[in-house]
Structures are given as structure tokens and as C-alpha cells.
Amino acid sequence: MRTKIDNRIRILIENSLAKGHRSMFVIVGDRGREQIPVLHHILSKAAIAARPTVLWCYKKDLGYSSNKKKRIRQIHLKSSVSTISEGDPFEVFISTTKIRYCYYNETHNILGNTYGMLVLQDFEALTPNLLARTIETIEGGGVIVLLMKTVNSLRQLYTIAMHASSASEEELKALKEGMKDTKPIGSLLNKCRTACQGKVLLRLLDVITDKDLNVTCSITAARGRGKSAALGLALAGAIAFGYSNIFVTSPSPENLRTLFEFIIKGFDTVGYQEHIDFELIQSTNPEFQKALVRVNVFREHRQTIQYIHPSDASKLGHAELVVVDEAAAIPLPLLKELIFVKSSDLGQHLVFLASTINGYEGTGRSLSLKLLQHLRQQSAGCVKGDKLAASKGRKLHELTMEESIRYKPGDEIEQWLSRVLCLDSAKIKTNLACGTPPPSDCELYYVNRDTLFSFHNASEAFLQQIMAIYVAAHYKNSPNDLQMLSDAPAHHLFVLMSPVKENQSSIPEVLAVAQICLEGDLTKHFISKAMDNGKRAAGDLLPWTVSQQFMDRDFPTLCGGRVVRIAVHPDLQSMGYGTRTLELLEEYYLGNIPSIEETVRESVKIVKDEHTVALLEEQVAPRSDLPPLLLRLTERKAEYLDYLGVSFGLTLNLLKFWKKSGYVPVYLRQTPNPLTGEYTCVMLKQIHDQSSCNAWLAVYYREFRSRILSLLSFEFRKLPISLGLSLLQVRNKEVNEALQHDRRVITREQLSMYLSNIDLKRLSEFARNLVDHSLITDLLPTVSRLYFGEQLPANVNLSTPQTAVLLGLGLQHKSADSVHEELDLPQSQVLALHSKCIRKLADEFDKMCMDSIRNSISDKALNLDKEEQFAAVNHLKPLAQSIEDDLEKAASEFREQHFHDKDAFLKDVDLSQYAINVDTKTLAKACDVSMTYSRPLITTKRMMILLGGKKFQRRKGPEEKKNTTKWYEGASRRLQKISDISMIRRRVVNSDKPFMSAFGSTLRNKKMKCFWNDSVNGLLYNEAVSFMKSKKHDVQQWGDLPFQQCQFENFSVVIKNK
């Protein structure tokens, strides 16, 4: 029996196809799938192209076999004929149409593909993430079908309209016209569908032609904008420009179908022919469904485009270009390895990143907030402590695409989807008109979620503002989070808003948002049953985690509040607004903010559907009897809570933020998050009953600290030293007081269990710089645990740099090289800090040992020892001779003995064999010969100090002459002490003029006659005369003419005759 369908269906499909928009149909009923062939037939007839492909998504049971051969065998068993019945349209449809069947939990494999029709079966299993992920794969003019079982009311559905951007075809035409004569760029540009795609392709080709391998290009856009197509055309251009080794990566090879498709289209455009110029290689893995994984090009020389898994970054040894498609779906640590780590080891390469920043699970804004921010800092050259030398100064080009490829601008399905799931929250302007009010003046409000999601204009604007702050401030946001916020009964929403003025009529601006989830308050029977079975119920993250880690079945009975998210306006971050929000939340749940309302109103109402109205006649409209959107904290009574907690990805900034508010770490997951690479940290703050008898938080932290001290040498060895040090320090006053009160200082007997006497001796020797640090390396873990475990007295304090070095070397077992690189300190300074901290600890151990020995001696023995000391002191008497006199006497005796031995030696030695038998003239002539001596000559400065000690200027007057005479007398006395004649001779012959003048004056001194005999005097006289003649001075006979004056002026000598 043939039934005529409504003509509006055909008109809707044809109009959508003509406009390039998508259409949606909701089929209600248990046999709704039988209408799929009808819609597909109408779409096929209206489309002037190949039969549209179909994407059929379902939860678990499809209802029939998706294998065509198996389906034919089933039909054969029914009819004994192996042909398909023409009377069953559904059989004909599934046999003649290309259908991609996909489970809901495997929809991540369809990213990057395009289909003409979408069928969503099992509507009750559909989540917002799946809805966004699948709808965005449908091209313009396609049909989206939702199969629903029989329902009676659609009261919970809403329709939303939203502004959309328009295309710019003229700009695309101008681009193509300007580049049409440039090969191969012009031919590749003709494949672009929008101006945004053309601009991105030109930028990528520009980077490729520059051949600067220290460049990263990032393409971020919503789904369906043509990112994969632009990358494929760019890779075809890279092959044309001579690039040999190109690698592409994605979470799955199936995500690269569009990319490889446009690579082949680009080859066709530039004149490459398959099997002649290139060949295609498909994957042999059945899970990848024969997806392309390699393209070999051999037209001019061997070139390859190879797929690699994101974890195979070590294979990029000779890569020239690396393309990462769907980058936001790849864990952040793997992305960093693809860009930085391996490139620093194996050589630089170009990197193209393409990703969707919203629309499906696992993306959020981790790519833009974390990776792109790091790349921006590197591009600006402001990364502090960056150890990747090869990636310093790496250039970054950020590209965006706004216009859709799969469907034309103005598509109502896109607008509806974006409004329902708040996907465009990042585009909302969040400019603040209130400025930056003091955090102490801001107020915290409770948000009524029923009113927030009521579809009123004011509520919608407020919701978009909240989601915009969420998206801008948090690293991960998925559509499922929006559903959790709206539907979860245990979740509560608070907003910090600017002060309200008296004449203000508008809603205050949102400065910060906090989402709280109430957890705990479980019965002991339920807890015991769950833990005995090894399974825990969904929800209650903190109670189950803490009870499992500390084997405490009483903790889940406490009432707690978990801070799911706290987001601050991007313009006001790090200004105290987040801390102010936590302070007000704590005051609220402590009961310090009294509530005006004694009774709590029930916010959840049961809606009774009326079955008298037909489904198609039902009118869905916003509720009119809604409570106020915002409530002051005094207008709502707070729930009783024993603690507040949080679970987050551990970073140093976040840890400091939560510690500043008094939160204490109690758990750190040993496996990193697969998306961000961060370790999950749980922190708690006790807000009720903090007496010493119920200080459970201090007990938890002491146990946590003990575990961390051991784990820092295993998985947490990768943590930065600053982060590990911050984990071992808390700023909670009550916890610190409890820890100090229960501080367990180790005794000498207990110390012997950790360190033997030989170990203590080694530490003591190292403290005195008698041994090398390698001799105590094995003792560092033990010493570090004693210090950080607070088993030493409280007065043993190390400076922050010393503590950091001790943690890195002793607990994390890092080398001195890695510590000095991480702390940005010279290696010598690291070793010096290490020596200082070991010296302090060794002194404390020595003191502990001496106190132990002192305490082991009886008091009677000590008293006897003291009496003997006093008796010995009383018998002491001063010596008759002082120590100075004693030393002077010993020196005199030694000097006399020395002179006696010297005279005896000279008398016994016959020196006649060394005599020179020549006359005075020959000797004087010989003195003119310059001689070189093996011993270094004394400097003029040293001789001046010997003779008098200072430099003289021209003297005038009797007083000055008197002083000069005293100086000469002092010089004479010094010369009398010189007994080595050969030394005097060398000084006379080779010294400067000041010495000669001083020496000449001493020769004329009468006091010298008793010391200088005639032969020595004559010898010195002849040498002095020869020296003065060689210097061309007017020399007069010193022996005949009296000395009148010797002056020192600019190191010159003036000798005058009276």
C-alpha cells in the first residue's frame, strides 16, 4: 500500500539543497527507520550528483545486519532466492547505498569526513558531544534524521535562533584572479571554496616556499570550514616545490580521508598522474578500513607523504614537514614531542597544526590556551628557562577560518546547534564597563539554574556570559559540561559580581564563576558494601578517592563540597577575585553569613504532562512563574559542610592559588592525564570542627607527605623541583600547628637505624671539605627524608635554594647538571649550596651524638670531673717571662749561631783560587760589559722600600733638609744589614737612578766607614762610576767632592757640586 507523504517534506529538502543548507527531520515512532529510504530517495532525485552517502550512528543494536553479504544470505534463507525483493524499499536502500555504520562510542573515527545524510538512532543515548560531533560531518543540502520512539510531550525542547556570518565570494574571486598565472599556486587556489580557505592556503604555500624550517602554522576553526582540504592542497604544493619527507598524523588514519583526498586532487591539478608519477598505499589494518597511509611520488626524485601515529615522534629524524590534523584530540604531551622535543634532537622541521576548538569531546581549549600560548611566547622570545635550544625563537603563524565549506552561511541547523550547546561562547565580547573594583567590595550571588535555563532573553544573555568566562578561563569545555550544569541536582552555581550602585537598573557584570558539587554524606552500610565489592557508585569523587587512598571508611560519611570549576574573567585574572570568591564561599558554608529565610524552598518541581493535547498541537513556551535569577547569600540557607575540596590538573600556578586559600594536598595521581599530561591533585580544607581531637586533615597530609617523599624518586621524578618543593609546604595554619605539635624528632638510637657511625663520619668529613661529594651520594636520600619528613629539630632550617637543591639531588635523584639547568644556577653554585646544606645537617647529627654521649655520663662523674678542673685551675701560676721575650731570646741565639757558622765556613774555604789578578784600569774596563744574571734582579720599587720606603720631591728649608738627612741615615742602617756583596753589585749595576743616588749618599756617610773596607768601597765606587757613565750622567768624584743634595723628581737624579 502506497501512502502519499506531505509535499512540504520534498519542498524543504529541495530548498535546502538549492541554498546549500542542511535540513533536519525528527521521526517519532517505533518504525521510523522505514522512512529513511523515502527521505534518501527524495534527496537523491533533487541532487544533481552521485547518490549521497549515509552516516548511520547507533548505540549498540542496529536491528539488522550491516554486512551486505550476510544480509543477502538472510534473505536467501527466507525466500530461497538470492535476489533482493523489489517490494521492500528498505532492503533496496541498504543494498544500493553506501552507508557508514558507527557506534556512538566510535564517532571519533569519523572526524574529518563528509556525508550527505545522517541517521541518529537510539535518541535516548545521544549526548551533546555526540550531537555536535556527528551533525558537523553533513554537507550543505544534506538531511539529518533523528529517530525517536513514541513520545507524548516535547515540553523540554527549545528552538533558538542566532546570528551567522556571510560569505565573501568576491574576495575569493579576486584571490584566484591575482594568482592564476603563478604555477602551481594558481591551479591549487582554484580548488578553494571560500575566501578564508584561499587565504589559509596562500599562507601555507608562502611558508613552504620560504623553506624556513623553524616555523609553526596553526589553523583553528569550527568544524566544516575546510581545514583538512587546505592542508591537502598545501601538501600537494609542497611536493611540487621539492619537499621529500612529509609526515602526517592524526588520532586515526580514518580522520585523514579528506586530507588524502585533496592531496590527490592537488596532484591532478599540477599534472601528476597516478601509477606514472605517484602511487597510493592503503593500510592493511582492518580497523582502519583500508584508509590511505602513504603516498609515494617518483616523478623527479623519491618523495613520500607518510602517516605516523602521534606517539611515534621518534620517527621524525629526517622530516621536512609535519602535519597534525585534529590536533586538539591528541594528548598535549604527544603534541609537544612532535613539535619540540624530537626536533631539538633530530633536526628542525616545518609544523602545520589544524584543529577544531569546539564541538566535540576532548578538545575544549587546551590547544589554544596551553600549546598556542607556549608557541606565542617562544615566537616572542620570552620563554624563561626554555631548555629546547633548537626551538627557541620558533616563528608562529596563527590562521583562522570562519566560512563553512560543507554548507553555506546562514545554515539554521548550525545556528540552532551553536545556540543550544553554547558553542560560540568564545566569540562573545566580555568587555567590562565596571573597571576593576576592589575584590573586598564585590558580592557573591547564588544562581537559580531553573531560571538560568528558562530561555528568557535576560537569562540567555547571562548564560552566554557565564559560558564565555568558562571557555576563556578553563582548558577544557565540552557540551556535556553544559548538560551537567543544567541537570545535575547536586551542582550549585555562584557568581562574583561588581558592587551594585543605587541608581543602577541593569544586572551587575560577572567577574568570577564558581560551580560547587555537594558530595559525601553516605551511610556506613552503603560504604562498606561498595568497598567490599571493590566497586563504587558514580559521583562523589572526593569521598571515594580519599577513602580508598587512606583506607578510611568514615570519610565518606562527612559532608563536603567540591569546587568543580572556578573561572575568573580573562581581564581580571591574578587580581584576587578568585581568592575572594573562595573566601565568601567558605564564609557562606561556615554559617557566618546569616540567612533571612529560615525555611529552604524546594527548587525542584515535578512537571505533570497533560495527555489531552496531541503531540503536533502542543505549544512549547518558556515558563512564566520563575523565581529570581540571582539570590544574595543571605536569602538562601547554606547546606552544612565539613570540608571543601577540589580536584585539578597539577601546575605550579594552580597549586599556589589553592594553597593561598588554605587548601592542603592529600592525593596526587601517579598516572598523568592523557589529554594534558598533568597529574590530578586533590586538595581539601576542613571548615568545621577543627579541634585537635578531630584534626583528620593533618593526619591525611602527614601520610600524603610521607608517600610523596618516596614517590619523588619514581613517577614524580619528572616534576619540576619548584613544584615538588611546593607540595611539601602548606599554608594552612591549623594543619601546621598540628604538625608542629606532633613533630617526632628522631633520637640518637633511632638515628643509628638510618645512618651508621661510618656514615656519620663520612658526612662530617664532607662538611669539612675533606672528601668529595661522590662519597656521600648514597646518603642523600636518607638525609633528605629525615629533613623533609620533619624528623629533625625545628631550629634546623635551610634556605630556599638549599632546600631546592637537596630535594632535586636527594629525593628526585637528579644529577647536578639537570639541577643547575632547571634552577638556572651555575653548577658550581649548585654544588656550593649542596655543601652548605650537608654541613648544617652534619653539624646537627654531630650535636645529636655529643648530646647523647653527654647524657650517658652520670651526674656524679660529671661533678668529679668539674672538681678536678677547678683544682687544676687554682694551682696555675703565671710564668716569669712573657712569650714575646721568650721568642726574642730564641731569635738572638739562632742569629748568633748563624753568624758563627758562616764565619767558620768562610775561614775554612780557600778563596784565593777565585782572585782576579788585574789592575784597576782593566777591572774598570771590564765593568762596562753588560752581564746577565740567572737570578731575577730586585725591582726599583722594592729597593726604594728597602732603602727608605717613600719617594721624595724637591725639599726646601732647614726642616725639610733635616727630614732628608734622617731618611739617608735610615737607608744607611738598612744597607748595613746586607751581607751579600754580589747582591749589592747586581743592584748597583742594573738598578735605576733613584737607587744610585741613594747609594752614593750612603757611601759618603761617616757611619758606613766601620762597615765598608777599602776594597769593597773601591769596587762599589768603580761600579757606580761605570754605571753613571753608561747612563751619560756628569759624574764627579764622590770621594773628593762632598755630597750636597740628592733630590727625587720624576725619578731623575740631580747631583750638584758646592
Residue 158 lies in a domain: no
Identify the CA nearest to 14 among candidates 37, 35, 43. Answer: 43
Residue with cell 619528613: 789
Same domain, 11 and 121: yes
Same domain, 855 and 825: yes
- Pull the grid cell for residue 936: 731575577
Residue 619 burial by Cβ neighbours in a 10 Å radius (0-12, 13-18, 19+): exposed
Q: Give the pLDDT score at 539.
A: 77
Q: Give the pLDDT score at 1012.
A: 40
* pLDDT reading at 475 higher than 80: no
Residue 415 lies in a domain: no
Same domain, 269 and 355: yes
Helices (H), 422-499: 449-452, 457-473, 479-487
Q: What 8-state DSSP symbol labels residue 315?
A: G
Residue 179 lies in a domain: yes
Residue with cell 602517516: 307
Lowest mean pLDDT among 176-185, 360-369, 396-405, 642-651: 360-369
Same domain, 925 and 899: no
* pLDDT reading at 847 higher than 60: yes
pTM of the model: 0.64
SS3 445: strand
Over residues 642-700, the pLDDT tens digits come to 999 999 989 899 999 999 999 999 999 999 887 677 899 999 999 876 665 567 999 99
Identify the CA nearest to 432 among candidates 442, 419, 424, 422. Answer: 442
Same domain, 905 and 928: no
Cβ proximity of 236 and 183 under 8 Å: no
Q: Give the pLDDT score at 915.
A: 73
Read off the CATH number of the domain in which 322 is found: 3.40.50.300
Confidence of residue 362 (pLDDT cuts 50, 70, 90): very low
Q: What's the rounded Cα separation, in Å, for the pair 68 and 71? A: 5
Cβ proximity of 475 and 676 under 8 Å: yes
Residue 738 lies in a domain: no
Same domain, 821 and 943: no
Residue 711 lies in a domain: no
Read off the CATH number of the domain in which 563 is found: 3.40.630.30
Residue 1049 lies in a domain: no
Region 351-378: mean pLDDT is: 65
SS3 446: strand
In 597-642, where do the E strands start and end?
Answer: 630-632
Residue 706 lies in a domain: no
Question: Residues at the annotated binding site for acetyl-CoA?
Answer: 566-568, 573-579, 660
- Pull the grid cell for residue 921: 784600569
Same domain, 131 and 174: no
Read off the CATH number of the domain in which 41 is found: 3.40.50
Range of the domain at 1009: 920-1030
Same domain, 357 and 274: yes
Task: Tell which wins on pLDDT, 983 or 254.
Answer: 254
Confidence of residue 69 (pLDDT cuts 50, 70, 90): low
Same domain, 498 and 397: no
Over residues 484-522, the pLDDT tens digits come to 888 888 999 999 998 877 777 777 788 999 999 999 888
Asked which of 579, 609, 641 is the last residue of a domain, the reply is 641
Helix axes 958-976, 993-1003, angle to 10 degrees: 90
Lowest mean pLDDT among 100-114, 267-281, 615-629, 712-726: 615-629
Q: What's the rounded Cα separation, in Å, for the pair 470 and 463? A: 10
Q: Give the pLDDT score at 67.
A: 63
Q: Give the pLDDT score at 61.
A: 80
Identify the CA nearest to 997 among candidates 941, 1048, 924, 1040. Answer: 1048
Confidence of residue 171 (pLDDT cuts 50, 70, 90): confident
- Pull the grid cell for residue 920: 784597576
Over residues 197-220, the pLDDT tens digits come to 889 999 999 999 988 888 889 888
Helices (H), 811-911: 816-823, 827-856, 859-874, 883-908
Lowest mean pLDDT among 147-161, 164-178, 442-456, 495-509: 147-161
Residue 207 lies in a domain: yes
Q: Give the pLDDT score at 233.
A: 93
Q: Give the pLDDT score at 972.
A: 53
Identify the CA nearest to 577 among candidates 478, 683, 497, 688. Answer: 497
Cβ proximity of 833 and 773 under 8 Å: no
Q: What's the rounded Cα separation, in Å, for the pair 93 and 893? A: 128
Q: What's the rounded Cα separation, in Å, for the pair 89 and 5? A: 15
Question: Residues at the annotated binding site?
Answer: 224-233, 406, 566-568, 573-579, 660
Question: Residues at the annotated binding site for ATP?
Answer: 224-233, 406
Q: Give the pLDDT score at 250.
A: 87
Q: Give the pLDDT score at 370.
A: 65
* pLDDT reading at 868 higher than 50: yes
Q: What is the number of structural domains in the chain?
A: 6
Count of all residues that appear for the chain in the document: 1058
Same domain, 943 and 1007: yes
Same domain, 36 and 134: yes
Q: What's the rounded Cα separation, in Å, for the pair 983 and 854? A: 63
Same domain, 112 and 175: no
Q: Give the pLDDT score at 53.
A: 92
770: phi then psi, degrees, rounded to nearest 5: -100, -15
Q: Which amino acid is at 408?
A: K
